[in-house]
A and B are shown apart, each in its own frame.
Chain A
Amino acid sequence: MTQTELRPKADPARPSRFSRAVNSDLFHSFRSNPVAVVSAIVVMVLILAAVFAPLVAPHDPFNPATLNLMNGFTPPGEANAFTGDFFVLGTDDQGRDVFSTILYGMRISLFVGFSAVLFAMVLGVILGLIAGYVGGWVETIIMRIADIQLTFPAILVAMLIFGIAKGITPPAYRDQMAIWVLIVAIGLSDWVQFARVVRGATLVEKNREYVQAAKIAGRSAFSIMLRHILPNVMNSVLVIATISLALAIIAEATLSFLGVGAPPTKPSLGTLISIGQGFMFSGEWWILIFPALTLLALALSINLLGDWLRDALNPKLR
């Protein structure tokens, strides 16, 4: 007897995957929640704009050879007094088109956000499963590390990791490394939440009958964790991941704003806001406002989506 034989045969009367998705409870809850729909549209538009930035953006702000310093400080919707060039959202102090820079900057912000959350999720889920399932001193060690880390603000942990990494990286590679270091720094400061939730859920699940049955059937601990417990804790993990994504994007912006993240020659949204902040008093408002609004829209919509997902997936709140 093999596993495959136990699975139901494909049934022609069974609805397709797509129609099953459309008719699911989850999708119904999504359609009946206008906030979720609007948030999802905003997130999709922003992600698509970022992914296709090289096609959408009129300039490549990361190629310094294409910049003309004389275009600096062009107001939005006006032609530059010296060069006659026109920019929808104006230019910054280096003559970079703000619109293009936002798109390219958002790529960095999103890339760092997604990768950091993925990193935190993988690390947190693995450690949480092990802690919950194995128990004993392994659990004590993992969860005490998590508790200790929780007493430090996440941003402080990220700055610490960033500082150490910058110190040991040869200067020539620092610009390229900055992005990866950001991912690791934010990811490492964020795994605790995943680990705690997964451990909690695992403690509950491991005493359920299906787990006992799998144990008796001779399944290895690894297999039980991966095939039986994990699918049952995935709902909570997804909710945390969505909310963590918004937090990770903000953490990246904060680090870059403080000057320890993405370099000014390859700015992310946070770097752009930090640059724009210098021109707050002198009337060049567009350098600050547009990247800040973009960050707000991105973080807020992801957060609202996360909120909806939590409500929708949590039967107790239904």
Chain B
Amino acid sequence: MKTTGILAAALLASTALSASAETVRWARAGDSLTLDPHAQNEGPTHTLAHQIYEPLIIRDYDGAFEPALATEWGPKADDPNVWVFKLREGVTFHDGSAFTAEDVVFSFERAKTPDSDMKELLTSITEIRAVDDYTVEFVTDGPNPILANNVTNLFIMDKTWTEANDATKVQDYEGGETTFAAANTNGTGPFVLESREPDVKTVLTQNPDYWGMDTFPMEVTEVVYTPIQNAATRVAALLSGEVDFIQDVPVQDLGRVGDTEGLSVKSTEQNRTIFFGLNLGADDLENDDVDGANPLADAKVRKAMNMALNRDAIKQVVMRGQSVPAGMIAPPFVNGWTEEMDGSVSTDVEAAKALMEEAGYGDGFSIQLDCPNDRYINDEAICQAAVGMFAQIGITVNLDSKPKAQHFPLIANGTTDFFMLGWGVPTYDSEYVFNFLVHTKGDERGSWNATGFSDAGIDEKIVSLASETDLDARNATIADIWSTVQEETLYLPIHHQVLNWGMSDMVGTAVDPSDSPKFKYFTLN
């Protein structure tokens, strides 16, 4: 009797284990901003989209290209201005309709519209044409050597579904618009959206008709995604077994998680730089105490602020060694990065004070810093530490921290004086950084350039990068643009992030340097 009881209990336990073992409960600080795959070019938004939608090409965890909806790609042999993509056959969307070249043409055209946040990546494309059901050609204005780099986060939507649901127009996220595509999905990806409550819980289930069922491990059958903003609560959830995988282990808890039986931390340097942006273009700042003038318009002030930042102290205390102090706003992964520029800044409070004096702000001024509190590792603590550092050169900084959903629109709309931003470079090339952050804010480029910096000469050079085929000449132009960015101190670089993923021993995955886990790769023990 007793033995049967134990046996039954063991049986029950094992079935319970195998049932739950296929579910990965995943937590990170913030949620995806929208389900519309073209509305926000933002890390966590793309990460969720990657489970549901697919681009033509993706990058694997080593940064190498991997075929997704395209099987082959490359410039056309007889015409360098045309790229040809061969599409995967036999793929269906979650609603059962077939994936064809029409959908690719539709999605790219959609992503090129003004409301799209992906348009900067597609500026060189002038025409997209479907040659047959499974071949697409992209015509560029001049040869574009890195077109493939630009499409790894460009998700393909179903034309019929999108049109039928009146969602052809991209959601205007900053304008507060809500659309059908922002709350519903129909992709080709490995997971289907089961339910979603923004900022609370999103459930994904495996797509049984996924084309890659035999290509990838596909061991996870259900993903439960819960954003947990509070760092201590997030760690407690992992320690107590409430979640299996957290993407951002707080730096103070790395030891605790690593030492816990059944849990491990995996780390890698991330393809992302954290920095402050300065609104140097405005005639007068919104929230400062200087009337009729913009103190940030003076390069001396910007240089002084750059010198006041003690990046080593931030690394040592706020990040507990888990960061790489930065002197430029692109990480070492990126073409155009140089050790010289990245090591070019040092802390010198006395020299900074002298520069402030020279600029006529010896008595300082006050300014508001807009800071996110659920996006980057210790974002608010970094801003707070910086408040103290700027105070030492007489600048009174009023810190306004808020969730990213309220912070990012300030930058995209250009209504901030002084802000924190982090930038990852999925194309691994400086052109991406320039297109979004340096080019004059306009219809096609510069959508995240809230600095107000505008220089026709620089704009011309940035545009020329898209069609320069001589790689040496192209790299020379990149170096040239960087020297202006550095000289003008458009941004105050802080550090390159180090990623720490915490997981239970059940979950098997490597760490993606772009911080975008793809659950189709996960293995389960």
Contact = CB atoms under 8 A, between A and B. Distances in A.
Given A65-B392, A172-B287, A172-B368, A278 B250 contact: yes
Interface string A64-85: 1101111011000000001000
A37 to B, nearest CB: 38
A172 B398 contact: yes
Contacts of A307: none
B389 interface: yes
A281 interface: yes
B442 interface: no
A170 interface: yes
A63 B394 CA distance: 11
Contacts of B384: 94, 264-265
A264 B399 contact: yes
B194 interface: no
B387 interface: yes
Nearest to B364: A65
A73 B252 CA distance: 11
Interface string B77-114: 00000000000000000000000000000000000000
A95 B392 CA distance: 15
A175 B388 contact: no
A284 B253 CA distance: 11
B341 interface: no
A95 B317 contact: yes
Contact of A265 (B230, B253, B387): B387
Contact of A65 (B317, B381, B391, B401): B391
Contacts of A65: 388, 391-392
Given A171-B368, A278-B232, A70 B252 contact: no
B246 interface: no
Interface residues of A, number: 29
Contact of B252 (A82, A170, A278): A278
Contacts of B137: none
Contacts of A265: 384, 387, 399
Residue of A63, A67, A82, A95 with highest tally of chain B CB at under 10 A: A67
Interface string B239-259: 100000000001011011000
Given A64-B391, A69-B388, A170 B398 contact: no
B14 interface: no
Contacts of A170: 287
B385 interface: yes
B313 interface: yes
Given A263-B399, A278-B252, A281-B253, A67 B232 contact: no
Interface in A278-312: 278-282, 284
B80 to A, nearest CB: 50
A277 interface: yes
A69 B252 contact: no
Instruction: From B231, B239, B255, name the one whose CB has the most chain A CB atoms within 10 angstroms.
Output: B231
A114 B392 CA distance: 34
Interface string B200-240: 00000000000000000000000000000011100110010
B380 A69 contact: no
Contacts of B380: 264
A174 interface: yes
B316 interface: yes
A264 B373 CA distance: 12
Nearest to A82: B316
Interface centre among B232, B236, B288, B401 (most CB of A within 10 A): B232
Nearest to A71: B317
B265 interface: no
Nearest to A172: B287
Given A95-B317, A281-B256, A63 B391 contact: yes
Interface in A13-45: none
28 contacts: A65-B388, A65-B391, A67-B391, A69-B310, A69-B388, A70-B317, A72-B317, A72-B318, A94-B381, A94-B384, A94-B388, A170-B287, A171-B286, A171-B398, A172-B287, A172-B368, A264-B401, A265-B399, A277-B230, A278-B231, A278-B232, A278-B250, A281-B232, A281-B236, A281-B252, A281-B256, A282-B252, A282-B255
Given A174-B400, A282-B250, 11 more contacts: A64-B387, A65-B392, A68-B388, A69-B313, A69-B318, A72-B317, A263-B399, A264-B401, A277-B230, A277-B232, A282-B253
Interface of B: 230-232, 235-236, 239, 250, 252-253, 255-256, 286-288, 310, 313-314, 316-318, 368, 373, 380-381, 384-385, 387-392, 397-401
